[in-house]
Amino acid sequence: MFIELTDHLRCPADHDESFLVLLPDRIEGRSVLSGQLGCPVCGRTFELEQGVLDTGNAPEWTDEGRSILDPDALTALVGLQGPGGYLTLVGSAGSRWKEVAELNPGIALVAVNPPPEVTDAPGISLLRGGRIPLKSRAMRGVVLGRRYADDPYWVKEAARVVLPGLRVVGEGVNPPPEVIDLMASADGIWVGTGHKERER
Ligand SMILES: [Zn+2]
């Protein structure tokens, strides 16, 4: 996990959003390979092993086929202009992250609950959890893979973590209109921005 991502992590518990404190065991360059992250609010601790932070309750992976969203299309839809910041890929959206990284130079990638073949490597930070364990309004874009895009809970999570006005892309049925302002939708892929109502 990219050490600077620590600033954007949050405890998954349902209390006010709080940072997590990193207690590293092993760091190589700018990557944390093992350690613990602790929540100063509720006292929970989360293990980071083999570069992967697990905050618990991640849905079990079921092989529902490859993402139909190829890296070129994904890049065009999420529409990031210029380097800096983070792009989060949820579920199967993380399967071709290396090509996504090449197409988006200078953007740090975060994979949440990726397919099992995706392992820790420079250029990707791997998180697991029953929600997106990132602070609100912290990401430049979020892509929801299959199954996740069909679930309003995960759509809300994506809308929560993306920066205001920036995009969420999903592979699935159209998102709830009270969560996402839809920009376009075709062939089971949609793109939109977080709805303003979430800011209440
Ligand atoms: Zn907590």
User: Mean pLDDT, consecutive 10-residue segments, the chain of 200 residues?
Assistant: 97 94 96 97 97 96 81 97 96 96 98 96 96 97 96 97 97 96 96 71
CA of 20 to the centre of ligand 1 (A): 8
CA of 130 to the centre of ligand 1 (A): 14
pLDDT at 197 (0 to 100): 52
CA of 14 to the centre of ligand 1 (A): 8
CA of 40 to the centre of ligand 1 (A): 7
pLDDT at 62 (0 to 100): 84
Identify whether the C-beta of residue 71 lies closer than 8 Å to the C-beta of residue 103.
yes
CA of 36 to the centre of ligand 1 (A): 13
CB-facing half-sphere around the CA of 152: CA atoms within 13 A: 4
CA of 171 to the centre of ligand 1 (A): 31
Please give the torsion angle defined by the CA atoms of residues 141, 145, 150 and 155, in that order, rounded to the nearest 10 degrees.
Answer: -20
CA of 46 to the centre of ligand 1 (A): 10
pLDDT at 68 (0 to 100): 82
CA of 127 to the centre of ligand 1 (A): 16
In degrees and rounded to multiples of 5, residue 20 shows phi and psi of -115, 145
Report the predicted TM-score, pTM, of the whole model to 2 decimal places.
0.96
144 bridge partner residues: 90, 170
CA of 162 to the centre of ligand 1 (A): 21
CA of 59 to the centre of ligand 1 (A): 20
Beta strands in the chain (DSSP E): 21-28, 31-38, 45-49, 52-54, 86-90, 108-112, 124-128, 139-144, 162-171, 180-186, 189-194
The region that residue 39 occupies, defined by phi over 0 for left and psi between -120 and 50 for alpha, beta otherwise, is: beta
CA of 116 to the centre of ligand 1 (A): 27
pLDDT at 26 (0 to 100): 97
Helices (H), the chain: 71-78, 97-103, 152-161
CA of 93 to the centre of ligand 1 (A): 27
pLDDT at 65 (0 to 100): 65
